[in-house]
Structure 1
Amino acid sequence: MAEVSKDAISGGPRYLPIAEHGLIGDLRSVALVGTDGTIDWYCCPAFDAPSVFASILDAERGGSFRMSAAGPAKTKQFYFPDTNVLITRFFTEDGVGEVQDFMPIRGEKIEAERHRLIRRVVCVRGSVVFRTHVAPRFDFGARPHTLRMDGAVAFFESAQLSLALTATVPLEADGLDARAEFKLAEGESAVFALDQVGGEVAPRRCPRMEAEDQFETTVAYWRKWLSQSKYRGRWREMVHRSALTLKLLTYAPTGAIVAAPTTSLPEQPGGERNWDYRYVWVRDAAFCVYALLRLGFTGEAEAFMNFVTRHISPGDGRASGPLQIMYGIDGRTDLTEHELAHLEGHEGSAPVRVGNAAAEQLQLDIYGALIDSIYLYDKWARPVSSDQWDDVCALVDWVCEHWDQPDEGIWETRGGRKNFLYSRLMCWVAIERAIRMANRRGLPADLPRWREARDTIYRRIHSRGWSEKRQAFTQYEDGEVLDAAVLMMPLTKFIAPTDPKWLSTLDALTEELVSDSLVYRYDPEASPDGLRGDEGTFSICSFWYVEAMVHAGRVDEARLAFEKMLTYANHLGLYAEEISHTGEQQGNFPQAFTHLALISAAFNLDRALG
């Protein structure tokens, strides 16, 4: 594989491992910053906008914002305590320097639309020579741009988006890129600020004092937000990092919560399991609401409820159900999937996809996740309105009518619909939680019909979801394949966690799907999913496993499994979707699903340990 300029400058590999990244953001978009100081993923002005920097998906064509020591250096990376301000330190022979990366959270509309990204470079010991190379590649590297130097400002301009780079050190043009080399002595600093400009947003310098002020303001914002947390348990650092990560995945203008901020990071190197996760999965976002409510963050739960009320209509007449399984962060429904053939993919793992065809799938479990989150919001935060209750009733009535359809299931298989047990389980949850709400608040509902459907589903799961041969609940009706999704059965209170049938299921899952406390979601050979290749263990399932063992009374085993799982986090406490057999992070990064499951597992394990 040919070497590229990144290697020539930094001496590093073409691609950093997925886990070698931290995350910063402004509640509208995020940037991934590698441990080598390179921003190699950034979409502007929103999570699901085309990329500006995407060298994580193509080292040559994707574009990047490199910042590094000019000579040999060791690096370390950490978050400024209790914030989403990221520090990358460079240790050289002559001194120690650091890059402080952050995106200010601005309330004013015009300043929020600037999407300012600040890189504050500081020498903390001795002296350090730094180099930077800023190479945006608009629209995933497919759209041309021009570079215009105007004094101390570099303007990168394309047909759809213009960025302005200002710096407190001299910038030079390098073709269509900008670069700088500068030396800092102990106590000295330099500031680089990248802004979206155009319309009402005019270019504006970012002097050192302003950068320092915005650093302090951003730190204060995150610490004030985190101070709302009610968690005081054993794993405070990991739980709070997960909470801060979930907050970063929130799109403030609408209250949407994205599943992950990246697209097409491979679940298997060289495989085809590459998906675009920069959208709002009803399931994922609803579970996020549960996790955040657990910690006391009612504002985020309310914002998502408002998103549901405004953008998710239970009466749009779609053949696959009243709801899509996912929406755009602005509530749009068209998420047409296509491939970007000009990008090679992370470490050559094509295809790179934009959009997600799974939006058209039928996944019945989303109704349980959504209505459970509404139930918890109504119970722990604020009572739902009469209009919201009418929407809940419409959804539950639809579930009562359609719960027994085959669907694609929680894992979004592309190998045909089946009668998945997890889908049945969550339809039961949808109806059962709505009945609880109606009874607790005296709300109008067709309770006889709802109870009949709930009880029918219950009996159906026990009669056709249980395998006498396997002595376990199975992936789909009348089958014998195991699936980690059934770990949710006791967590949703469908079955007693010490029921003999459940304990037998837990033992079967442990024997077949668990490896060093890590859990595979299912065996693709036993249950073909329509895709080539293998996959790693699914991190959300690993945390579900911990929680299921807690409820089963196996607390010591649960604690060991949880502590083991924590060792698979990256250096910042972040998780992708999966973990390979060698312990590497795989899939889109970081993933909301994993972090919300960590919060729930920690909460319940703490409570069991007393």
Structure 2
Amino acid sequence: KPRITRRYRPNTLILETTFVTADGEATLIDFMPLRGQASHLVRLVVGKRGTVAMTTELIIRFDYGASVPWVRRADAGALLAISGPDMLILRTPIEVRGEELTTVGDFTVAAGETVPFVLTYSSSYTPAHLSVPDPIDPQDALRQTHEFWEDWVNTHQSKGAYAEAVSRSLITLKALTYDPTGGIVAAPTTSLPEWVGGPRNWDYRFCWLRDATLTLLAFMNSGYYDEACAWRDWLLRAAAGSPSQIQIMYGLAGEKRLPEWEVPWLSGYEGSKPVRIGNAASGQLQIDVFGEVMDALYHARVGGLQYLAEAWDFQRVLLSHLEKIWSLPDEGIWEVRGGRQHFTYSKVMAWVAFDRAIKTIEAFGLDGPLDHWRNLRAQIHAEVCEKAFNPALGAFVQAYGSQHLDASALLIPAVGFLPPEDARVRCTVEAIERKLVTDGFVLRYDTAATQDGLPPGEGAFLACSFWLADAYVLLGRGEDARMLFERLLSLRNDLGLLSEEYDPAAKRLLGNFPQAFSHIALVNTAHNLELAQKPCEQRSGNVSLAKAAE
């Protein structure tokens, strides 16, 4: 049995998998070149020592596994697999054959030899005079891809004790970005379960507005202003239009219709059904996104991103609509399917929306009903403090009148709703430590006690654990923050990647993978621990990006 190890080449997204056998050693180099006329996936099998016998198998299915393609040979030995509008082209010098609807081949690689495989996607209706996409030079593509990633990383090299983890997370976020629009996908997968065997399986191949502020801070504090600007511009385009029609998520190009349906012919990851395509949460009311948008655009201005005059007009219209709906119940940050409630975090972020508008006027001299917004801000603040704080529990709870805790309350000091020295903040953090921390990691809430419309059971939510570390920083518990952060770093897989959740009992990552929200949180918590300009202080209003840069 071969010994197998893998790694990313340092500062790149080029994957190397090494096989060591009794007869020799070979390395698989997998990468995706920057997109040109077509999309390519390249594999190079490189002989390092002796000889290694290899078998390749390629199973191609379209339409989420339902469609077996028509396979035929093209000129120059290319293999074409066609189904409806889609086509894949395999180019390799080895002899391949069909066996039971699978393309297979056997070959041996010796020291100093390289065997290339290039898989190319194209439309099947390419005009005849254009033929199939031209082949690429795999070695040249490898060189260009390596140079791209090294140049990108070295533009703003991460420093400090956690530089490697931060750099890998930033590379991951860059890879999750659709370059033509600047949209960042939450994860490139669908329906990897939050609990193995359970129904909490969602399609995350979309862009969430909720990620906006923390994404901007992660990029800007790392020096990647082009990416921050592209994300800001995507945000404005996607949310453009009537504020009553704003969605919590959009497609990578800003698509609005994301209907959810289940795939009955797929058994799901380790039997976890259903497999879902699309996401019905796109039609939910989640009032917190108004605060996220206002917060992101405020920090974009403070951070010095190019000013867009139309942005303020859009923000004013957004606030006019929020004034009408902030007092309504909604589905909340966790997108519950068990009915609307007056979720605490939603109300806090409504407060954030008006607070950031007020600060924008005060800092940049823009026009707006300043006194009116100040009154609304005070009204929301007073209501949350009265209805969301449970004196018996000594903590802010999940929703008005609730007896249950929610990890989103950890963000109350981070967004500036209350200062970290407020006793209610400290007591809420301590209550969450007692009730929602399991084996050292934070649950979103107790799924057995909370009616969220689904059966109980899920892992610890990694972003929430990073939020607890951030809360420790604000509370002056620096050593606790560092210890928790380093425990979280130990959960990364061998490539430095994180999913959405973690099962402490089974010691395995859960949920869609890799997860942008987890890596965004990792970057910001590392910056909270390492940088003078801490994102949690920037966001809460204790320090600005502009001041930190002085």
The reply to whether TM is greater than 0.5 is yes
Question: Does the 8 Å contact 1:258/1:285 carry over to 2?
Answer: no
Separation (CA, whole Å) in 1 of partners of 2:265 and 2:77: 33
Q: Which residue of 1 aligns with 2:542?
A: none
Change (3 A) 1:420 1:140: same
Deviations 1:380-405 (A, max 9, x none): 13243221110011112222222111
1:432 is paired with a residue of what secondary structure? helix
Deviation at 1:229, TM superposition (A): 2.6
Specify which of 205, 221, 233 is matched with residue 135 of structure 2. Answer: 205
Structure 1 residue 130 displacement after superposition: 1.2
The DSSP-based 3-state class of the residue aligned with 1:140 is coil
Provide the C-alpha distance between the structure 2 equivalents of 1:274 and 1:250, rounded to a whole number of angstroms: 23
- Once the two structures are superposed, residues 410-432 of structure 1 have per-residue CA deviations (whole angstroms, 9 ceiling, x without a partner) of 00011111101100111111111
Answer whether contact 1:314 1:394 (CA < 8 A) is retained: no
Shift of 1:152: 2.2
Cα distance, 1:609 vs. partner?
Answer: 12
Match of 1:83 in 2: 12
Aligned match of 1:258: 185
1:590 corresponds to: 514
In 2: Cα distance, 1:286 partner to 1:136 partner = 39
Contact 2:213 2:299 (C-alpha < 8 Å) held by counterparts: no
What is the deviation of 1:360? 0.7
Q: Could you say which residue in structure 1 is the equivalent of 2:475?
A: 552
Query: Which structure 2 residues correspond to residues 191-270 of structure 1 after superposition, within 5 A?
Result: 191-198=116-123, 199=126, 200=130, 202-206=132-136, 210-229=137-156, 231-270=158-197
Aligned equivalent of 2:104? 179
Matches within 5 A, 1:463-482: 463-482=386-405
Counterparts of 1:493 and 1:227 in 2: how far apart (Å)? 34
Name the residue aligned to 1:603.
Answer: 527
Question: Which residue of the partner structure matches residue 544 of structure 2?
Answer: none
1:536 aligned onto 2:459: yes
| Sequence identity percentage | 39
2:247/2:283 contact within 8 Å kept: yes
Q: How does 1:76-475 map to 2 (within 5 A)?
A: 76-106=5-35, 108=36, 110=37, 114-150=38-74, 151-198=76-123, 199=126, 200=130, 202-206=132-136, 210-229=137-156, 231-315=158-242, 321-475=244-398
**2:158/2:164 contact within 8 Å kept:** no
Amino acid in the other structure paired with 1:278: R
Which amino acid in 2 is paired with 1:295? S
Of 290-299 and 342-351, the range deviating more from structure 2? 290-299
SS of aligned partner of 2:119: strand
Check the 8 A contact 1:270/1:350 in 2, yes or no. yes
Report how many aligned residue pairs link the two structures. 527
Deviations 1:408-456 (A, max 9, x none): 0000011111101100111111111121112211111111121111111
SS at match of 1:266: coil
Unpaired runs of at least 5, structure 2? 535-550
Q: Distance in 1 between matches of 2:91 and 2:261?
A: 35
> 1:233·1:603 contact (CA, 8 Å) conserved in 2?
no
Query: What does the per-residue CA deviation read over 1:253-284, in whole Å, with 9 as the maximum and x for residues that have no partner?
Result: 21111111100001111100000000111112
CA positional deviation for 1:85:
0.7
Tell me if structure 2 keeps the 8 A contact 1:519–1:541: yes
1:171 to 1:599, Cα distance in 2 relative to 1, 3 A: same
1:569 pairs with one of 492, 498, 502: 492
**CA pair 404-314 structure 1, distance change in 2 beyond 3 A:** farther
**Structure 2 counterpart of 1:81, one-letter code:** P
Verify the 8 A CA contact 1:313 1:322 in the aligned structure 2: no
Distance 1:218 1:394 in 2: 43
Distance 1:239 1:588 in 2: 20
CA distance in 1, matches of 2:165, 2:510: 20
Preserved CA contact (<8 Å) 2:448 2:456: no
For structure 1, list consecutive stretches of 5 or more residues without a partner in the other structure: 1-71
- What letter matches 1:83 in structure 2? T
CA shift in 2, pair 1:271/1:118, >3 Å: same
- 1:596 Cα deviation from its structure 2 partner: 0.4
Q: Is the 8 A contact 2:212 2:296 kept in 1?
A: no
Question: Residues 168-207 of structure 1, C-alpha deviation per residue, up to 9 Å, x if partnerless?
Answer: 222223354322111111111100001123425724334x
On the 8 A contact 1:233/1:606 being kept in 2, the answer is: yes
Aligned equivalent of 1:10? none
Per-residue CA shift, 1:20-64, capped at 9, x if unaligned? Answer: xxxxxxxxxxxxxxxxxxxxxxxxxxxxxxxxxxxxxxxxxxxxx
Deviation at 1:363, TM superposition (A): 0.4
Contact 1:339/1:353 (8 A) holds in 2: yes
* Deviations 1:321-358, CA, capped at 9 Å, x for gaps: 34111111121211110000000001111110001111
C-alpha distance after superposition, 1:192-226 (max 9, x if no partner): 001123425724334xxx21221111011111111
Q: Tell me if structure 2 keeps the 8 A contact 1:264–1:276.
A: yes
1:105-127 Cα shifts (integer Å, max 9, x gaps): 14x4x2xxx11110011111221
Residue 311 of structure 1 and its aligned partner are, at CA, apart by: 2.8
8 Å contact from structure 1 (residues 282, 325) kept in 2: yes
1:494 alignment counterpart: 417
Q: Which whole-Å CA distance do the structure 2 matches of 1:75 and 1:204 have between them?
A: 34
SS of equivalent to 1:139: coil
2:131 and 2:181 map into 1 onto residues whose CA distance is 21
SS at match of 1:195: strand
Tell whether the 8 Å contact from 1:95 to 1:127 is kept in structure 2 after alignment: yes
What amino acid sits opposite 2:461 in the alignment? F
Tell me, in whole angstroms, the C-alpha distance in 2 between the residues paired with 1:314 and 1:454. 25
Q: CA deviation at 1:553?
A: 0.5
What SS class does the counterpart of residue 125 from structure 1 fall into?
strand
Which range moves more in the overlay, 222-231 or 564-573? 222-231
For 1:535-565, what per-residue CA distance to the aligned partner results, in whole angstroms no more than 9, with x for missing partners? 0100000000001001100111111111111
Q: 1:36 is matched with which residue?
A: none
SS at match of 1:190: strand
Q: Tell me the SS of whatever aligns to 2:106.
A: strand
